[in-house]
Amino acid sequence: MHPSAAKFLLLIVAAASSFLSVASHGLPPRQLKRNASCLPHERDALLAFKENITSDPEGILSSWRRGRKDCCRWMGVTCSNQTGHVLELDLSQRNLAGQISPSLLSLEHLEHLDLGGTYLSGHDGRFPEFLCSFKNLGYLDLSELSFASRLPAQLGNLSTLEYLDLHNAYSLPSEVPPQLGNLSNLRHLDLAYNYLYTTDISWLVRLHQLEYLDMAGINLSTIDNWLHVVNMIPSLKSLSLSNCSLPRANQSLTHINLTKLETLELSTNYFGHPIASSWFWNITSIQFLELSSTYLYGPFPDALGRMTSLSFLGFQENGNSATMAVDLKNLCELETLLLDGSLSSGNITEFIEKLPQCSSRKLGYLSLNDNNMTGIMPQVMGHLTSLTALSLSNNSISGSISPGLQNFTSLEELSLSSNHLSGQIPLLPRGLEILDVSMNFLSGHFHFGAPYIGVLILSSNKITGPIPEKFCELQYLRDLDLSNNSFAGELPVCFSMPYLHSLLLSNNEFSGKFPSLIKRLSNLTLLDLSWNKFYGTLPIWIGDLAELRFLDLSHNMLHGSIPANITHLRRLQLLNLSFNNISGSIPQSLSKLMAMTKTHMPGPITNLPDYWNTDWINYGFLDILSAVTKHQHHKYGVRSIFYIVDIDLSVNHLTGGIPDEMASLDGLRYLNLSRNCLRGNIPENIGAMELVESVDFSWNSLSGEIPASLSDLTFLSVLDLSYNNLSGRIPSGRQLETVYDNNPTMYDGNNNLCGPPLQRNCSSGNSDPKHGNEKASGENSESLFFYIGLVSGFAVGLWGCCVLYSSRSHEELFLSSSIFIVV
């Protein structure tokens, strides 16, 4: 050891030992403290309390045993060092259920009782009123219990109480007892989110020590003087009256007494008056100000620029009628600024310039989504490099993304979607985890250079080029959406991407054989390769992607047969192979697609990452997948996508019959097998597909009669059987009649069909099959000619009964003539 280091160490040891000796001499009653143990009658009271606990799965009370006499050492129990009396009982946030035993009353010296977050309650689920008899109680937390009784007036007897937390503790409506005004020592009162109501809060003014008041969620709609009442509690540091249906406050306060206020939450109350006429702008002590969903409007006052203590300003969802031109340069404490869905105008260039410019950079979270901001994205934003999250989605911001983005070394989340941004995406900061720049006019190549990125959404831009090998370094990637761009070439073959969950590449110029990269993506849930130029056969290993729920390979040039292994995908709820060159027969093992059966119907994805449930990613995932249903082009959004149960194999060269097993997919909502070469009968048991809403078998060579069970399908709204060789009497049924009324061509091109709703009578004319066939083929070719005319511009040919479509055109018939529905 270096001599001076040894010296230093010695010094520390010396100092420590002298401190210890002073400590032991300075505090003589140390011995006494050690061995004051609990009093027998208090121990018995605790054991009686334990007897009424019906459930303790974590074994919290396992130390509470008669054999372990010193109850002061039991879990959750704290005693006085001097007297041994139990002073504190804290069992909060434990998984305890049962009744709170009145035996606790024997703990006469109890000062602190915390049962918050447990499943305990009083007798019959009532409030344990005996608790109101404690003489020394200073702290009572019964939050998140679930009492089914009135809040007792006796609470006002707890004259020593300083802290009372009853938030979210009531399951029945109850009036707030005005006797709470007797709790003259109260500093903290939390009654938020209960079924409480009151018509009078004047008792609050007797709480002269009150620093924290939370009455969020309590209906105060009749209390016109609420502002005058709270203004008479000058001790207040934190006030939350969110979601209280507050009446428009009378703004004419002559004097503001709330000079100590640090937190003010008034969100979700309809005020609907100008922002500037609010009463709180002169309170410069405010640090946290939450005004979301208050519908305040007009310009922010200059006083905001003088609120130098402010660290949080929430002003979201206020109906796009506010403006912000205040100079915020001096708000050096500002950490979070949320103005989403509130500004009616604004110039982003000027806005950014007015943000804090302080030596200590604190602004971490800036969110301006859904505003009407225009202007050019500033190229230099040196004063904002402390940001961890920046969100400017759904505005009209133009220009290019600052090349200085790399200097934002703390940035983790960046969302710029739905703007008019152009130019190339610059190099990203290394720490970035979420990037959403979808729906802009960004172009050029993209550098896949943010190694920790988990969510990468570039969809609906004009980004070009191949995906470089560097892409494989993105080992944390979870969701990748490159759809609607001009990416081209083959996907790199990465060793693994363990977390990749959704891979959305639709509508690009990707080519090559079915990407072998996908083989290693064992957690893949969504795969959309539609509208590209992938060719070759579908690999057998596709059946190994055990988590796959949505598979859209439509509009490519895939050929070969459908591998039977695809039916191993027990979670698959969307199978879209339409518009390819797929041949062979439909696998019979389809009934193994359990997610398409009623008993195993898909629910929402449970391992959904948090950002899917927040508004953070506003637009990227809204158009997650598309599927042609009910003759319309549906776009599925984040929430509705989970309820898709679809099979679309249309426009291929499938041969053979429709397997009877298909009917066991009784959770299926949409089935399209049209424009293939399918023969044989429609499965007799098709009526078992109870939930099916749309069935399209048109343009095949199906024969035989239409099964009567079709008329059992009560949800059916679209049925197309046109251009087959079906024969015999059309089954009757109210549902089928309605479906026919909506689409009277649904039986066209089947000249041996007869009976209502067709004019053709079953007894006459129909007995001559030759005649019927001739007529059928005539009609067939006529309509086909018509169809070819419509889809001119890409190759259409005839192959036996099948129509051969090229899948390579983005201006394809369905797309151009259909309606996009964003759900």
Ligand X SMILES: *[C@@H]1O[C@H](CO)[C@@H](O)[C@H](O)[C@H]1NC(C)=O
Applying CB under 6 A, which residues contact ligand X? 31-33, 35-36, 48, 51-52, 80-81, 99, 101, 133, 153-154, 156-157, 178-179, 181-182, 203, 231-232, 234, 253-257, 279, 282, 320, 344, 347, 349-350, 370, 372, 374-375, 380, 382, 403-404, 407, 498, 522-523, 540-541, 543-544, 564-565, 607
Task: For residue 664, give the H/E element and its range.
Answer: none
Count of CB atoms situated within 10 Å of the CB of 313: 21
Q: Cβ closer to ligand X: 368 or 678? A: 368
Strand, coil or helix: what is 308? coil
Q: Cβ closer to ligand X: 606 or 764? A: 606
The residues near 463 (Cβ < 8 Å, ≥ 6 apart) are 425, 442, 443, 444, 445, 446, 482, 485, 486, 487
Q: Cβ closer to ligand X: 166 or 677? A: 166
Burial of 680 (0-12, 13-18, 19+ CB in 10 A): middle
How far apart are CB 587 and ligand X at their closest, in Å? 10
How far apart are CB 408 and ligand X at their closest, in Å? 9
Long-range contacts made by residues 781-789, C-beta under 8 angstroms, separation at least 24? 783/723, 783/748, 783/749
Q: Cβ closer to ligand X: 24 or 761? A: 24
How far apart are CB 324 and ligand X at their closest, in Å? 14
The answer to whether 273 touches 295, Cβ cutoff 8 Å, is: no
DSSP string, 460-521: SSEEEEPPPGGGGG-TT--EEE--SSEEEEPPP--S--TT--EEE--SSEEEEESPGGGGG-
The residues near 268 (Cβ < 8 Å, ≥ 6 apart) are 242, 243, 292, 293, 294
How far apart are CB 312 and ligand X at their closest, in Å? 21
Q: Based on DSSP, count helices (H) and strands (E) in the chain, helices before strands.
A: 9, 52
Q: Cβ closer to ligand X: 234 or 468? A: 234
Q: Cβ closer to ligand X: 9 or 540? A: 540
Taking the CA atoms of 227, 229, 232 and 238 in sequence, report the sign of the dihedral they define: negative
How far apart are CB 399 and ligand X at their closest, in Å? 10
Closest CA to 198 of 218, 168, 169, 172: 218
In the structure encoding, which two tokens stand for residue 667, read together?
């959770």
DSSP string, 230-263: HTT-TT-SEEE-TTS---------S----TT--E
Q: Cβ closer to ligand X: 257 or 681? A: 257
How far apart are CB 377 and ligand X at their closest, in Å? 11
How far apart are CB 153 and ligand X at their closest, in Å? 4
The residues near 397 (Cβ < 8 Å, ≥ 6 apart) are 348, 373, 374, 375, 376, 377, 416, 419, 420, 421
Phi and psi for 31 in degrees, rounded to 5?
Answer: -55, -50
* Cα separation, 461 vs 819, whole angstroms: 21
How far apart are CB 316 and ligand X at their closest, in Å? 13
Strand, coil or helix: what is 55? strand
How far apart are CB 573 and ligand X at their closest, in Å? 19
Q: Cβ closer to ligand X: 518 or 726? A: 518
How far apart are CB 277 and ligand X at their closest, in Å? 10
Q: Cβ closer to ligand X: 13 or 22? A: 22
Q: Does residue 492 have a cis bond before it (omega within 30 degrees)?
A: no
Q: Cβ closer to ligand X: 120 or 625? A: 120
How far apart are CB 445 and ligand X at their closest, in Å? 20
Closest CA to 165 of 197, 117, 202: 117
* Cα separation, 633 vs 404, whole angstroms: 41
Task: For residue 599, give the H/E element and its range.
Answer: none
Single-letter code of the amino acid located at 232: M
How far apart are CB 565 and ligand X at their closest, in Å? 4
Q: Cβ closer to ligand X: 159 or 738? A: 159
How far apart are CB 504 and ligand X at their closest, in Å? 18
The answer to whether 308 touches 337, Cβ cutoff 8 Å, is: no
Q: Cβ closer to ligand X: 543 or 749? A: 543
The alpha carbon of 591 is separated from its chain's Cα centroid by a whole number of angstroms, namely 32
How far apart are CB 414 and ligand X at their closest, in Å? 15
In the structure encoding, which two tokens stand for residue 253, read together?
């306060």
Q: Compute the chain's Rg from CA coordinates.
A: 35
Q: Cβ closer to ligand X: 99 or 674? A: 99
Q: Cβ closer to ligand X: 186 or 753? A: 186
Count of CB atoms situated within 10 Å of the CB of 819: 8
Q: Cβ closer to ligand X: 210 or 651? A: 210
Residues β-bridged to residue 489: 510
Residue with tokens 């969802």: 317
Residue nearest to ligand X (CB): 404
Q: Cβ closer to ligand X: 133 or 714? A: 133
How far apart are CB 427 and ligand X at their closest, in Å? 11
Count of CB atoms situated within 10 Å of the CB of 257: 14
Q: Cβ closer to ligand X: 240 or 394? A: 394
How far apart are CB 281 and ligand X at their closest, in Å? 7
DSSP string, 34-54: HH----HHHHHHHHHHHHTEE
The answer to whether 487 touches 465, Cβ cutoff 8 Å, is: yes
The residues near 161 (Cβ < 8 Å, ≥ 6 apart) are 137, 138, 139, 140, 183, 185, 186
Q: Cβ closer to ligand X: 229 or 358? A: 229
* Cα separation, 588 vs 659, whole angstroms: 6
How far apart are CB 238 and ligand X at their closest, in Å? 17
Task: For residue 447, give the H/E element and its range.
Answer: none
How far apart are CB 157 and ligand X at their closest, in Å? 4
